[in-house]
Amino acid sequence: MRDGDRVRCATYMLRDYAYLWWEGAAHGVNLATLTWNQFKDIFYNKYFPADVRGRLTQEFMSLQQGDLSVAEFIRRFDRDCHFVPLIPRDATEKLRHFMDGLRPTIHWDVMLMRLATYDATTACAFQAEQALRDIDVEMQRKRHQTQQSSQP
């Protein structure tokens, strides 16, 4: 896709305050020669100033799943990944960083699969999380049955 098309698609998706901001900002640029990188620079400088980008970079570098669901972890990982440009450009590094941030029980299950792509790894992480939930539900069910059978 050409830069001009990317810019048009992105600006078409702007809503509310972002759309109003772009209407004003567009007057200060030559839309015929505006590159995708120039548009991103203008957008990021408005909505993600240097201090915010720095904070998001630090958050990304220390991002751990912890108590987050896999879906929430992936959402934060993908959002913050854009502010650390070397990682998303290197598929191996992106995958390693994602795996390092997963909760150990999910990390183990995903690691055993030895997947080579980020998309396959995130899909596997979803499956591992669901399997852990299923195990937990089954254990609770058995515990409840044991308690009921031991009562007079």
Per-residue pLDDT of the chain (152 residues; tens, 9 = 90+): 888 899 999 999 999 999 999 999 999 898 889 999 999 889 988 988 889 888 888 989 999 999 999 999 999 999 888 888 788 889 999 999 999 999 999 999 999 999 999 999 999 999 999 999 999 999 999 988 888 877 76
Sign, CA torsion 59/64/68/74:
positive
Q: Are residues 68 and 133 in the same domain?
A: yes
Q: Read off the pTM.
A: 0.75
Q: Are residues 62 and 90 in the same domain?
A: yes
Q: Are residues 101 and 140 in the same domain?
A: yes
Domain residue limits at 10: 3-47
Max Cα–Cα distance, the chain, nearest Å: 82
Q: Are residues 26 and 68 in the same domain?
A: no
